[in-house]
Amino acid sequence: MHPSWDVEELADALPRAAAVLRAAERVAVMTGAGVSAESGLATFRGAGGLWEGHRVEDVATPFAFRRDPALVWRFYNLRRANLREARPNPGHDALVKLEERLGPERFTLITQNVDNLHRAAGSRRVLELHGNLTRVRCTGCQRVDDRGTEALDDMPRCSCGALLRPDVVWFHEMLPDGIWEESARAVASCNCFLVAGTSAIVYPAAGLIDTARRVGAKVIEVNLEPTEASGRVDVGLYGASGQVLPRLVELLPHASM
Ligand code: OAD
């Protein structure tokens, strides 16, 4: 939290944000872990966050996986097990509605989340910057498989015999082929960039906010509290995304805009 930040009242900021959205020909949205918090999934940073009990270097880097794959798999298997209980919340649903209202040509959803909840909610055009926990990738033949939330053991193997890994992006790794380029293109051609539930400190994802500003797009932030990005946004909506996003979408016309 940045305590000196002068936060506009939500009731005043919401209609301003809705006006920005209404005026936009193309909208890009980027979500982070906060959007899934109300689905019962822990965020990364802060009290009770996923990184609190783990060092990133022990569980979320290629070096960690080479050193102790079973430890890394135990961490990800726990997270996969959490997905079994998790259901999309009204924030995810509101983004489905926004996509339906705008249509695929005018809407792109970029997510840093690996929890599959946007797809489960019904979002169609989803660019997963950091991969997806429901998929595994073979470290040998590179085959990618969707294993849903089924229980995997601590050293799961591919039919080719090589060790599997979660199909997520670890620190020090490149973002998935093509996904980054498509995300950057969507942001560079949008008029409104809506950023929800992210601390906006992990790059290159956080850099998309600067891309949006460079092309003159308006930036709307939805978060429980001001973040690193708040000084660079046009409208800040501070509250839980599961409440704020439905209220925002409710303010838009129902017919195709
Ligand atoms: P963080 O845990 O860094 O930030 C979550 C943000 O969500 C914080 O700013 C919270 O204030 C906000 N938040 C929490 N609950 C919320 C709610 N109900 N409504 C709205 N906002 C809420 O998560 P990310 O920004 O997603 O990368 O983290 C970015 C990346 O860092 C992750 O994808 C992951 C991580 O290390 C990799 O693993 C590569």
Q: Kindly give the confidence (pLDDT) of every residue in the chain, 257 residues in length, as a single tens digit, with 9 standing for 90 and above.
A: 454 556 789 999 999 999 999 999 999 999 999 999 999 999 998 778 887 778 888 899 999 999 999 999 999 999 999 999 999 999 999 999 999 999 999 999 999 999 999 999 999 999 999 999 999 999 999 999 999 999 999 999 999 999 999 999 999 999 998 999 999 999 999 999 999 999 999 999 999 999 999 999 999 999 999 999 999 999 999 999 999 999 999 999 875 55
pLDDT at 3: 46
From atom 35 of ligand 1, which residue's Cα is the shortest distance away?
A: 44
CB 75 within 8 A of CB 59: yes
**Could you give the C-alpha distances from 93 to 96, 160, 242, 244, 254, in angstroms and in order?**
5, 39, 9, 12, 15
Bond from prior residue into 204 cis (ω within 30 degrees of 0):
yes
From atom 18 of ligand 1, which residue's Cα is the shortest distance away?
A: 240
What domains can be seen in the chain, in order of their start residue?
1-41+88-130+175-257 (3.40.50.1220), 42-85+134-168 (3.30.1600.10)
pLDDT at 257: 52
CB 186 within 8 A of CB 179: no
In sequence order, which residues have a C-beta less than 8 Å from that of residue 115 and are 6 or more positions away?
36, 39, 41, 83, 86, 133
Residue 175 beta carbon below 6 angstroms from any ligand 1 atom: no
Residue 63's nearest CA partner among 159, 200, 172, 156 is 172
Q: Which residues are catalytic?
A: 130
Whole-number Å distance, alpha carbon 150 to ligand 1 midpoint, is: 25
Residue 241 beta carbon below 6 angstroms from any ligand 1 atom: yes
How far is residue 99's CA from residue 128's CA, in Å, rounded to a whole number? 16
pLDDT at 256: 54
